[in-house]
């Protein structure tokens, strides 16, 4: 008698190094790959036009990879608990496998799915694959979960690693109907367009090409260039000195375990520094496994009553990249154009929103989440709480008050990044690009950029707002 298992794809959209797919293909005669369009996601606050377009492309690529192996991707719509129980009955499946996740919604959903399957007599088999190691495992000497990265990173280095797995060579999929591959509007776009210049190409093969290109060279200088907004010596790499792989990690089109294994085979400080960033990704998953309430609440109790200002005009200027601070505006325009932003720029624009404009970090988190191709709760929230100085990291608030002018002098001193995204400043001299409002009228005319007309004056004075922010944090912490 033949056996059948279902593999439920979510954000693990690949065939290589996929423990759930590998396990089902090894243990069962027939495998049913399925993606469930969950109305709670595509019609809820998690909906995003850019991510819906990217996801649709990933699903097309996944279906093609499965067809190359004799299978195909079955698509159903509805509550995953209902859909998977019904599908298991339809195909006679003994088990449903999937890749575990750490976000609060995913955990609640998976608990419901597990109970529904078990009540129907079907085994629920959560598998690893979304993270390098099991983020639930690290513990302090006292047996508690970590809330500081450095000791977590040391413990993480010594966790067991699973074997990197090959893709199944062949799959046998029974005849079963589906809804057809979804269009972006079926996945939450709801008429919202894609970003004009998507930063990453969706799918496993594009992800592997990008990862191999990174591993074959640029990674060696990562320890020196990770904060470089425009790359090195005139480089036109869109990711600057970073890897640019975050969207592929978010959607699982490349395996984080495979990526770590490949990076660890390389010697030098660059690969070691990059592996540390993979540890940060696992760390935020670890934090949200044990503190799901942090999803929209400050981790540090003393900052839960931190006062925020409501300034719709300033918020819209920030979103549009019209603050008058070139590096802040470049980052926000990069996000709007590509669905991605360099990590250093994310820190700077986040600090500007929360500590110069004094606007609630959740407004920034929502804006990022609407546009980022790599947007997902544990990473997005964790990074916003980090820059707002209200999260698990113990460093004091005044160490995260980034001066946007000084940051530009350090990480975009020649203005290549700013000029790419703020073309109004293209002809501003290098000596003035960091503070264009200090140009004389003659200089403005020569640069074709009149401040207040072609490009805005600064909407706030950083020095003044820094002091105001410090007072707010001191008051909240007392």
Out of 48-52, 102-106, 254-258, 396-400, least confident range: 396-400
Residue 146 has pLDDT above 90, yes or no: yes
Which residue has better confidence, 24 or 234?
Answer: 24
- Strand 30-37 with 4-9, pairing: parallel
Q: What is the pLDDT of residue 233?
A: 59
CB atoms within 10 A of CB 47: 17
What string of H, E and C letters represents the secondary structure of the chain? Answer: CCCEEEEEECCCCCCCCCHHHHHHHHHCCEEEEEEEECHHHHCCCCCCHHHHHHHHHHHHHHHHHHHCCCCCCEEEECCHHHHHHHHHHHHCCCEEEEECCCCHHHHHHHHHHHHHHHHCCCEEEEECCCCCCCCCCCCCCCCCCCCCHHHHHHHHHCCCCCCCCCCCCCCCCCCCCCCCCCCHHHHCCCCCCCCCCCCCCCCHHHHHHHHHHHHCCHHHHHHHHCCCCCCCCCCCCCCCCCCCCHHHHHCCCCCHHHHHHHHHCCCCHHHHHHHHHHHHHHHHHHHHHHCHHHHCCCCCHHHCCCCCCCCHHHHHHHHHCCCCCHHHHHHHHHHHHHCCCCHHHHHHHHHHHHHHCCCCHHHHHHHHHHHCCCCCHHHHHHHHHHHHCCCCCCCCHHHHCCCHHHHHHHHCCCCHHHHHHCHHHCCCCCCCCCCHHHCCHHHHHHHCCCECCCECCCCCCHHHHHHHHHHHHHHHHC
Phi-psi region of 203 (alpha: psi -120 to 50; beta: other; left: phi over 0): left
Q: What does the buried/exposed string (b/e) look like for 358-387 if buried means 16 or more CB atoms within 10 Å of the residue's CB?
A: bbbbbbbbebbbbbbbbbbbbbbbbbbbbb
User: Rounded mean pLDDT of 128-137?
Assistant: 97
**How many Cα atoms sit within 13 Å of 389 on the Cβ side?**
23
Q: What is the pLDDT of residue 1?
A: 66
CB 85 within 8 A of CB 50: no
pLDDT level of residue 192 (50, 70, 90 thresholds): confident
Which residue has better confidence, 231 or 314?
Answer: 314
Q: Which of 150, 81, 75, 148 minimizes the C-alpha distance to 113?
A: 81
CB 281 within 8 A of CB 243: no
Predicted structure pTM score: 0.96
Residues 37-54: tens digit of each pLDDT: 999 999 998 899 999 999
Query: Please, which residues bridge with residue 8 across strands?
Result: 34, 98
Cα distances (Å, whole numbers) of residue 164 to 18, 129, 133, 260, 350 = 9, 10, 12, 10, 36
Domain 131-162+204-290, what fold? 1.25.40
Return d(Cα 283, Cα 315) in angstroms, integer: 30
Give Cα 88 distance to the centre of its chain.
32
Q: Domain residues of the chain, as ranges?
A: 4-129, 131-162+204-290, 301-477
> Which class is 4-129 in CATH?
alpha beta
Residues 412-457: tens digit of each pLDDT: 999 999 999 999 999 999 999 999 999 999 999 999 999 999 999 9
Return d(Cα 460, Cα 478) in angstroms, integer: 27
pLDDT level of residue 113 (50, 70, 90 thresholds): very high
pLDDT level of residue 398 (50, 70, 90 thresholds): confident
CB 443 within 8 A of CB 433: no
Residue 409 has pLDDT above 90, yes or no: yes
Residues 316-331: tens digit of each pLDDT: 999 999 999 999 999 9
Phi, then psi, of 33 in degrees rounded to 5:
-80, 130
Mean pLDDT (the chain) is 96
Q: Which residues, 6+ apart, have CB-to-CB distance to 9 below 8 Å?
A: 33, 34, 35, 62, 73, 98
Residues 230-286: tens digit of each pLDDT: 976 555 578 999 999 999 999 999 999 999 999 999 999 999 999 999 999 999 999
Domain 301-477, what fold? DNA Cyclobutane Dipyrimidine Photolyase, subunit A; domain 3 (1.10.579)
User: Rounded mean pLDDT of 196-207?
Assistant: 97
Return d(Cα 421, Cα 314) in angstroms, integer: 20
CB 35 within 8 A of CB 59: yes
Residues 51-83: tens digit of each pLDDT: 999 999 999 999 999 999 999 999 999 999 999
């Amino acid at each position: 008698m033949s056996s059948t298992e279902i593999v439920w794809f979510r954000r693990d959209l690949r065939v290589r190094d996929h423990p759930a797919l590998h396990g089902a293909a090894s243990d069962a005669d027939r495998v049913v790959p399925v993606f469930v369009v969950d109305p709670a996601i595509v019609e809820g606050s998690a909906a995003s036009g850019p991510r819906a377009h990217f996801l649709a492309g990933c699903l097309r690529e996944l279906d093609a990879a499965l067809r190359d192996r004799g299978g195909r991707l079955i698509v159903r719509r509805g509550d995953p608990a209902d859909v998977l129980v019904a599908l298991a009955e339809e195909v006679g499946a003994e088990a449903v496998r999937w890749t575990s996740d750490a976000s609060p919604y995913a955990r609640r959903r998976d608990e419901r799915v597990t109970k529904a399957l078990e009540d129907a007599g079907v085994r629920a088999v959560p598998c690893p694959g979304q993270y390098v190691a099991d983020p639930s495992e690290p513990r302090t000497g006292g047996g508690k979960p970590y809330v500081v990265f450095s000791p977590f990173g040391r413990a993480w280095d010594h966790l067991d690693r699973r074997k990197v797995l090959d893709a199944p060579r062949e799959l046998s999929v029974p005849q079963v109907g589906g809804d057809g591959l979804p269009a972006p509007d079926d996945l939450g776009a709801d008429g919202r367009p894609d970003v004009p210049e998507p930063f990453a190409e969706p799918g496993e093969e594009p992800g592997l090409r990008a990862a191999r290109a990174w591993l074959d060279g640029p990674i060696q200088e990562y320890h020196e260039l990770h904060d470089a907004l425009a790359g090195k010596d005139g480089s036109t790499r869109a990711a600057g000195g970073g890897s640019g792989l975050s969207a592929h990690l978010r959607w699982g089109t490349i395996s984080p375990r495979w990526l770590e294994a490949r990076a660890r085979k390389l010697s030098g400080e660059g690969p070691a520094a990059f592996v540390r960033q993979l540890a940060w990704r696992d760390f935020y998953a670890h934090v949200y496994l044990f503190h799901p309430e942090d999803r929209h609440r400050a981790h540090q109790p003393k900052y839960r009553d931190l006062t925020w200002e409501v300034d719709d005009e300033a918020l819209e200027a920030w979103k549009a990249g019209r603050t008058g601070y070139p590096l802040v505006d470049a980052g926000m325009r990069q996000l709007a154009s590509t669905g991605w932003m360099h990590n250093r720029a994310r820190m700077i624009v986040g600090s500007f929103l929360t500590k110069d404009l004094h606007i609630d970090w959740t407004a920034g988190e929502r804006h990022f989440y609407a546009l980022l191709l790599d947007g997902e709760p544990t990473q997005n929230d964790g990074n916003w709480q980090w820059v707002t100085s209200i999260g698990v990291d113990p460093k004091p608030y005044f160490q995260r008050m980034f001066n946007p002018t000084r940051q530009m002098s350090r990480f975009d001193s020649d203005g290549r990044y700013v000029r790419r995204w703020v073309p109004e400043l293209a002809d501003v001299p290098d000596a003035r690009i960091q503070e264009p409002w200090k140009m004389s009228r003659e200089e403005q005319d020569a640069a074709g950029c009149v401040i207040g007309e072609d490009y805005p004056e600064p909407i706030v004075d950083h020095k003044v707002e820094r002091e105001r922010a410090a007072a707010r944090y001191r008051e909240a912490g007392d």
